[in-house]
Each structure stands twice: as structure tokens, then as C-alpha cells.
Structure 1
């Protein structure tokens, strides 16, 4: 498909390349990136619904089954910043294709696994693909579509890949596991095939990578090690602390959280040091000859963009995923462990959220160029909080339509509104050479939010379950199955109150600090006022970007 390039400018800085492409080319490009998001989310939801069968066939004890999910989450969540930086430096198409290849190849390998260790390791390697494709895809879309209605549609469609992936993974994965001769293996074979198709499409339709505008293209490997190791330890603690022998008081859990926090603090100071050097022209000229002073992996100043509103948006994404993912976990446990519904009946009760998710992204695509982003973010986070609230006050004897159905519909508004509008916001205030890194930073906060929300609400659930059971003279076992029914209900409600609190805090932050952000999507490129084009870009960064673009030309 032939595409034509022309040079454009944002006011007078920074320069970027606009690609004039046919409508068919645009559709295939967006579909390819969206398929990558479907692969990322669908591979986890499909594996989740197949866990009982996997455990039975591979003789894995129940409490170890969660590692099939955790191994993917660890690598996918903790390598995002590194791959975002690599995509910006060495080519988004290259990193995207590498990520899709990892997803496909290691998914195929999982289908042939014959023991617990093999499938856990392969799932961890598969997560590397997820860490690569998401920031690369966001950078590809940001560069392929300049600020316009087409960009809003592209980002909203990409965001819709998350609920679509969840639906495909849960529904088709469940059918394949139950009805095919290969049972759980069919799930991984399906996503291997989708990955192969996505790789071929990406190879054909994604534009050829252009050299980075940055003069110094070295990678901060020390910073990459510090942030990756720190995040791995913290995510591990948040994921496994509740099932450790003594819970979060277990010695190795305490050691890991302390070491993880220390590593992240060291990362912050190291990035500050490198950014300070490279902000000084004389020091930067000397630093380029020293192997130990590369440009920072993540400039800390990116958090201060638009007078600190970038940081606010990232923390809102963190809180929204705390609320949304804790709702998802406790609703499924409530249906299966408390009401004793089968996985299929539970899936049917959650289907409205997948349909609503796609509708929400359509709404964003239509209104993001007309409506102030604060209304989308406040409405979305408040509605996810309301979904938690409905289960926090649920009447067990009421029909599904009274609490469960409206809760399933409302739950996804926050996740879809925040992801679509948030990634548009990040793309808007990131420089051309930062697009994938900005997307990676946003995605990292959502991953951390998911783990943190599940961890905190699990602590709440266990605490209430233990205390309520004591009033009946019952010592709760590790699984909590012997707790009185009323104690279990109170514990589920308490966990949902925790999810409600996360959502409300996010809504309050948005209402207080995002009031002057304005519209993040535009009907066409000419709609963007000149002062808005450059208001969010630090002067020094803009000058360096313009100089780099001139040198590249």
C-alpha cells in the first residue's frame, strides 16, 4: 500500500512527519494495533478460564495455578518502560513485530508444555511480548495520526481491544477448553495463530521506521535494571503477599518490598542525575563520550508536563485500575465461591461489560473532540466506583438485574474512558521521540494499579472475614471456606467498599486538577490553537527536538 509523506510542524516546533494514507491503509493499521492489544489481554483471560483444566491435566496444585497468570503479568508490567524507550530509539515497527512474535511463538510453546515449570517459564517469556507491543503500538498510532478526529478514533479503537480481548479470551477460550480434544492447549494455539496473522499484517502495513531525532541514542541500561528489578519485586509482593505462609508478615515478602522500594528510589535519583547532566549543554557535550552517562531512560520532568497534570493523569489511571480490577476479582469470586455458580454462568453474567466496553470507546471517539476531558474522566471513575458500590450494598436475595447487571454495565466506563482519553492526553503532551515511552509510562501505572488494588482489597477481605468469623467462634482456614456465610458476605462487601474508595479518589483528583486541560481530541488538525500546540512542551526539549529533526533531514 503506497503512502506519501510530507513534513509538518506544530507551530514552529517540534517537527514531525505526517503520512498521507488511504482510508483502507488507516483501517488495516488500526486493526493491526488493536489485534495486538487483543492478544495482550485475551491471552490472560483465556488462560484464566482454562486454569482448572490446566491444573488437572498437568497435576498443578490449586494455589500454584496463579503463577500461570502472575508470570505473564510480571514480565508484561515491569518491562514496559524499557521497551517503550527502545521503541522510541530504534524503531516502533521493529519492537512491535518483536513483541507480536514473542506472543505468538511462546503461546505456541505453552500449548506443548507438559509440566508446571515449563508453562510458567513460557508464560513469563510471553509477557515480554506484551511489554513490547503496547507502547510500540501507541507510538505507531501517535505518529501515524496527527491530532485530529482520526487520531481519536484510532486510540479509542485501540482501547477497545482490551474488552474485546477479554471477551474473546473468556468466551472462545472457555468453548475451546470444554469442547475440543486438545482442551486447554487449543486456547494457546488460537492466540498463536492470531499472533502470526498480526505479525504479517504489521510487516506489510506499518510504516518503515525512521531514525530517532535524538543525537545521543544510548540506552540507560543501569536505569533499566533498577526500575525493572524494583517493579518485579514490588509486583511480586503485591501479587503473592496474601498467599505467603504468614501473609505480608512473611520474612521474604518484607525483604522483597524493602529492596524493591530502595531500587525504585535509586532509579529516581539516577534519572534526576542523568537529566541534570543532559539539560546542561556543556555537560551533555562531555557526557556523550562517557559510557556511564547515557540519556535518562525516563525524564522525571515528563511528570511535570502541563503544570503537573501529567502526574495527575497517571495517578488517576493507577486509581482507576485499582478500582476496576478489584471489582472484577471480587465479583467473580462472589458468583463462584459465594453463590456457587459455574464458570460459564459467571461468564454470562459478565458479558454486558464486554459489550459496554466497546460502546464506551465508540462514545469516546465521537465526543473526545468536543468535550472537555475532565468530564470524561470524572464520569468514568465515578461510574466504576458506583459499580463497586452496588456490590458493597447488595441484597443477596435480589435478582441479578437489580445489582449485578447494572454493576457489570457501569464497571467498564472508567477503564475505557480513562484509557482512551488518558492515552490521547499523553500522546498530546509527549514529544515525537517520547511517544512510546509516554504510552509505556501510562500502561505501567495501570499495571501497578491492578496489583495494588487487588492486594489492598484482599487485605480488607481477609481482615473482615477473620474478625467476623471470630464472633461466631470459628477459626478461619487459609482458603476461608469454613467461614460463616454471613462473614463471607460482609468480607465481600468490605472489599467492594475498598474498590469504591479508589474510584472516588480518582474522580476527586480529576475534578480538582484536570479542570483546565480542555479537549484532548480534535476534529481536524487545524482545530488546534498554536498556543496549545507548544504550551505543554518544555522550551529546552522543543529546541532539541527541532534541532534533531533538522539534522535527520
Structure 2
């Protein structure tokens, strides 16, 4: 008999499929999650608080990025080491997502959210008072831990607070707007604070601390109290957490440091750490697969050495593998979007020599477009197949990179920079909003934060990978073009001719364009049958029909 649930699932065996089917719908009664008895105002505050947390994550990166030249001058940090102010944050915020997401699912998402926000308040203030490079890098790393706790917890809070409905679509669309709007806000406000305040770059950290304090207040007054996890076995896979955290940390470290190491990618410790990081990650995957098999066996072990896996590997196979494709589309899209933003910012400041405020003004269209894009997602997610949003989004972000890949030294902003700022946001908003709704539908109630953390991890690693590859291209093109013009590059390429710098920026943006187009191709080839993932109210004539065609048919066929 056809199912009427608007959900998308696919698992390895009948037992797991039955569990997914029985838990497909989030609880919708007042006793379960308070949705029906909660006021509209309180629901809006919950969404706003979680969205603010998402925005703060982007603000932390963008505001620090636009202040890098000023930080380097005031703290006497060499240019080649400035990126660690950004990388230290991304290391912890990206590599601890899975572990902290699992803890949030087990011990309380509201608790994890509040503690993560308090952590960001404390370490943002700490960053504002530092006077040396090492301390700033260390505190930035601790600041990232707060984001790693709040983002997956926020996703889980929204998934639980809003059962499948139009309200859920609006909630997730609004949450996803936090990333591009936060990035724009961080660039805009960060640029102004850096240039016009007496504390310059330190003011950006005061600003972040203030926003984080607002999330603490919002969480305390609006988010429902944590209820015990419905998972029968609440043991933590500490070994898996150690393996994946160490493995991802080493891999992201190598991606961040490989190009600026003493001998580049041939540096001995870069090679060694890359090998160790890959081995630890592979070991984690084998360990998780072993634990999953133990848990799914007819007589599961209760040994302390066989806790439930941190992440079930079978989740990647859900929806006939479309879950995995969605992760890789997010990986590639964020490798394009965030990388485009960084190189566009450097192009304005280091090539055109614009001050932070003038640079900030050129990114204002991102803020407006980000808001509009998420309204579009909320309106269309329950009306059009999700692949349409994915293809349009990834193609638009790729085209933003294309505009800067062909930009000339005298190119007008209104012909290149303005449309680039508008187009770049489509991919970030469409993919994040659609992806998080899709993930929330695939994940079981007790694994919402882990599933959201996995999605966020892929975007973080994609960002690190995109920055690494584009930096390699930039350095190689800059060196080759300088030599072609008869200039031998010195350390840091400080004497590179202007034409060589332009070609290098273009090369980096061509790399971003490739990431965007590859994401578009993956969506086009492998997600065409995904159908509509947003909730759509069934009509009276649909009582014997499936609500939302597409991947839901997978469940019916298997039933």
C-alpha cells in the first residue's frame, strides 16, 4: 500500500528500514515537542536564535578575513602565516562537528547550544585582548569549538521543534540564510569596525562576542528544555570520536599549511601528517562499520568496547545513495563559494588597493540576495523538484567565479563585481537550505544533530580543499607569469608584476569555477529523481497516492 509520508529513506536491511519507517515523522503533539502549543512569536525566536548562531559562524570567518592585513601590521605577523588566523578556527569548527553533534543528540541539544555559545563569548573576548600571533591562533581554535557545538545542535533543535510542514521549510530556509548573510555582515561590519574604530581589528571580536551573548539569551528564553534521548544505548564511541577528530584535523592542517611549508608539499612533516591523517580516517570508517554490524546483529554485544557508532556508515546509502551525492554537492559548492569570496576580497584589497570599507561596500549585494534566495527556497521547496534548486544554485555560484576569472584591470564593478556578488549567494543558500531539509528527512529523530554535523563537516572540508587547490593554482600561475615577464619572484612574491598578479587571481577563480560546475554536473546526473523534499499538504484525492513524488517512491518500491 502506498505511503502518504513525505519522506525519503533507503537502508541496508529490513530491520533498519522498518525502524526508519516507524520514526519517519517527527513528533507533532504538544506532549512530544510543544509545536502545537507554542506561540508563533516563540517559534520565531527559536528560528532566529539558531539562525544567529549560524550567522556568527560565518561572521567569525569573514570579519577576521577582512581584518587580516590590519592584524598582520599591528601584531607583526608575516603574510604567509596570516592564514592561520582563519585556519585555526576552521580546524576546530570543522573537525569536531561529528563528535559534538553526537553528544548533543545524547545529552541535550539545548545544553550543547548554550554551552557552545558561551564558549564563543569567552574566546571572542579573549581574542580581542591578545598581543601576539601564537595566542591569537590558539584562541581562534578554541573559538571554533563553540561553533562546532552550536551548529549541529541548532540543526537538531529545528528538526525536533518543527515537524514536517511548511513551517519546517521556512525554519530551515531561514537557518541557511545565516551563512551568506553572516558572511556579508562579517565583511561589512568588520570592514567598518577595522577602519573607523580606535581598537581596529579588536572591535570585530567584541562584535562577535556581543552576538554570541544574544544567542545565549535567545536559547535560554525560547528553546524547549532537553528531553532524554530515545536511543536505548547511550554509550559514546570515544575511540571513533578520537579517530575521526584526529584524522580530519591532520588532513585539514595539511591542506592549510602544505603550500606555505618550508619546502611546500615536499616538506617531510607535511607528507607524514597527510599519510597519518588519511590512515586515521580510514581506520575510523572501518571501526564505524564494525560497530554498526555489531549493533545490527541478532544478539548485539553490550561490551564497553562496542558502543553504538558515532555515525552509521549506512546513512550514506540512504535514498539509493542520493544522501551521499548531496554531501558531495555541498562539498564542491562550498569549495567554490567560500573560495570565491576570499579571492574576490583579496583582489579588491591587495590588487585594487581598496580600503576595508570600500571592499565591504562591494559585498553588500550578497546580504540582500541571501535574504531573497531563502525566501525563494521556502516558497519552492515543496513545489519543485529539489534538483532544480541545486542545479540553478551551483551554476550561479560557478558563474560568479567565471566573472572574476575573466575580469580585467579596468573592469567596471557594475559589470563584474556586482553581478558576481549577487550570483555567488545562490549556491550557498539553495544548497544549504535544500540539503539540510533533505538530511533532516533522511535522519532518524535521535540522530538529527549527527546528520546535520556530517553535512556541515562536508562543507567545511570542501572549503579547506577549495582554498588549498586555488592557492596552489594562484602560486604556480604567479610564479610562471613573473618569470615569463623577466622577474624572479622573491619570498612572498612581493615583487611580482601587476600583470602576473592579475593572471594569478584569474587562475584561482577559474579553479572556483571548476568546483561550481562539477557540483552542478553531479546534481544533474545523480539527483534527477530526488523529487520534492519539502512538505506538501496532501489533498483529499491523494489519500491513496504518495505525497511528493520522487525519492519517496524508493520507500514504496521496497515496501
TM-score normalised by structure 1 residue count? 0.91
Give 1:148 deviation, angstroms.
Answer: 1.2
SS at match of 1:243: coil
Find the counterpart in structure 2 of residue 191 from structure 1.
208
SS at match of 1:181: coil
Alignment of 1:224-303 (within 5 A): 224-282=241-299, 284=300, 287-288=301-302, 290-303=303-316
Find the counterpart in structure 1 of residue 7 from structure 2.
none
For the pair 1:17 / 2:34, whether they are aligned, the reply is no
- Asked whether the equivalents of residues 160 and 416 of structure 1 are also in contact (C-alpha less than 8 Å), the reply is yes
- Asked whether the equivalents of residues 224 and 297 of structure 1 are also in contact (C-alpha less than 8 Å), the reply is yes
- Asked whether the equivalents of residues 102 and 310 of structure 2 are also in contact (C-alpha less than 8 Å), the reply is yes
**1:349-403: CA deviation from partner (whole Å, max 9, x where unpaired):** 2221222112111111111111110000001001111111112222333311112
For the pair 1:140 / 2:157, whether they are aligned, the reply is yes
- Asked whether the equivalents of residues 50 and 154 of structure 2 are also in contact (C-alpha less than 8 Å), the reply is yes
Deviates more, 1:74-83 or 1:327-336: 327-336
Distance 1:66 1:449 in 2: 17
Alignment of 1:448-527 (within 5 A): 448-524=461-537
RMSD: 2.3
- Asked whether the equivalents of residues 305 and 536 of structure 1 are also in contact (C-alpha less than 8 Å), the reply is no
Give 1:14 deviation, angstroms.
Answer: 4.6
**1:139-196: CA deviation from partner (whole Å, max 9, x where unpaired):** 1001111111111110111111112222322222222233333333322222222222
- Asked whether the equivalents of residues 482 and 488 of structure 2 are also in contact (C-alpha less than 8 Å), the reply is yes
Change (3 A) 1:77 1:12: closer
Deviates more, 1:314-323 or 1:470-479: 470-479
Give 1:300 deviation, angstroms.
Answer: 0.5
Find the counterpart in structure 2 of residue 61 from structure 1.
78
Find the counterpart in structure 2 of residue 6 from structure 1.
none
TM-score normalised by structure 2 residue count? 0.90
Alignment of 1:66-145 (within 5 A): 66-145=83-162
Deviates more, 1:527-536 or 1:312-321: 527-536
Distance 1:391 1:53 in 2: 25
SS at match of 1:242: coil
- Asked whether the equivalents of residues 374 and 518 of structure 1 are also in contact (C-alpha less than 8 Å), the reply is yes
Find the counterpart in structure 1 of residue 230 from structure 2.
213
Deviates more, 1:458-467 or 1:498-507: 458-467
For the pair 1:158 / 2:171, whether they are aligned, the reply is no
Distance 2:494 2:421 in 1: 26
Find the counterpart in structure 2 of residue 383 from structure 1.
396
Distance 2:389 2:318 in 1: 20
SS at match of 2:282: helix
SS at match of 2:304: coil
Q: Which one of 162, 170, 181 corresponds to residue 187 of structure 2?
A: 170
Find the counterpart in structure 1 of residue 333 from structure 2.
320
Alignment of 1:440-455 (within 5 A): 440-455=453-468
Distance 2:68 2:484 in 1: 35
Change (3 A) 1:350 1:197: closer
Q: Which one of 22, 29, 36 corresponds to residue 53 of structure 2?
A: 36
Distance 1:220 1:538 in 2: 34
**1:195-235: CA deviation from partner (whole Å, max 9, x where unpaired):** 22211220121111111111111111111011100111111
Change (3 A) 1:84 1:12: closer
- Asked whether the equivalents of residues 374 and 515 of structure 1 are also in contact (C-alpha less than 8 Å), the reply is yes
Give 1:505 deviation, angstroms.
Answer: 1.0
Give unmatched runs, 5+ long, in structure 2.
1-18, 29-34
Change (3 A) 1:536 1:240: farther
Find the counterpart in structure 2 of residue 5 from structure 1.
none
Give unmatched runs, 5+ long, in structure 1.
1-8, 543-553
Distance 1:381 1:74 in 2: 25
